[in-house]
Structure formats: C-alpha cells, structure tokens
C-alpha cells in the first residue's frame, strides 16, 4: 500500500491497518529503521508506578489466583475483622 509523506514527515496510517493493529488516537508506536525499511510497532506505555504489575512474578500470581477462584478455592469474609482473625489464626 502506498501513502504520501506530508509536510514535516507526517504520514497517515490507513484505517484498515489501524483497525487490524488496534491503534487508536493517542496510542504510541515504536519506530525503527531495519536495513532500508521503516518498521512501526504499536506499544503500550506503562506508568513507572505500575511496572510491578507487569513483572513475571506478579503475572504468575494473578494467573494462579484466577485458577483458584475458578476452582472455588477461596473464602468470603463478612468484614475486615473476620479476615484479620483468619490471618492471625484467632478463633
């Protein structure tokens, strides 16, 4: 597909491409030159304060939690006091 380069190097990504890749206004793309080609890749920028959430350790724990919930391995508590009693082993 051919597109024109506008003033200041601007290009418009065709709607079909944006839709296929899920690119929406305001999204970020990574651009690099490989040999004689320009490669654009959509990326998701994660705020520094939320980086921990995407670590392998946390993602594994989340997946295990989802499996536990699906298998019914959880308990509901009436309130925070009941939860704290359970955590502290009080009867």
Let me know whether 37 and 11 are in one domain: yes
Tokens 């009941």 belong to which residue?
82
Let me know whether 17 and 30 are in one domain: yes
- Is pLDDT at 90 greater than 80 in this prediction? no
Q: What is the total count of domains within the chain? A: 2
Let me know whether 15 and 39 are in one domain: yes
pLDDT digits (tens, 9 = 90+) for 1-29: 899 999 999 999 999 999 999 999 999 99
What pTM, to 2 d.p., does this model score?
Answer: 0.52
Whether residue 13 contacts residue 23, with contact meaning beta carbons closer than 8 Å, is answered with: yes
Let me know whether 63 and 81 are in one domain: yes
pLDDT digits (tens, 9 = 90+) for 24-70: 999 999 999 999 999 999 998 999 999 999 999 999 999 999 999 99
Let me know whether 30 and 54 are in one domain: no
- CATH number of the domain bearing residue 28: 2.10.260
> Is 1 within a domain?
no
Q: How many CA atoms lie within 13 A of 26 on its CB side?
A: 0
Full domain range(s) for residue 60 = 48-88
- Is pLDDT at 91 greater than 80 in this prediction? no
């Amino acid at each position: 597909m051919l597109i024109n380069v506008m003033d200041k190097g601007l290009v418009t990504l065709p709607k079909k491409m944006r839709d296929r890749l899920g690119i929406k206004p305001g999204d970020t793309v990574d651009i690099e030159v490989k040999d004689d080609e320009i490669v654009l890749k959509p990326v998701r920028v994660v705020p520094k304060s939320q980086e921990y959430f995407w670590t392998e350790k946390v993602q594994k724990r989340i997946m295990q939690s989802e499996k536990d919930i699906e298998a019914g391995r959880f308990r509901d508590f009436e309130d925070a006091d009941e939860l704290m009693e359970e955590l502290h082993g009080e009867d």
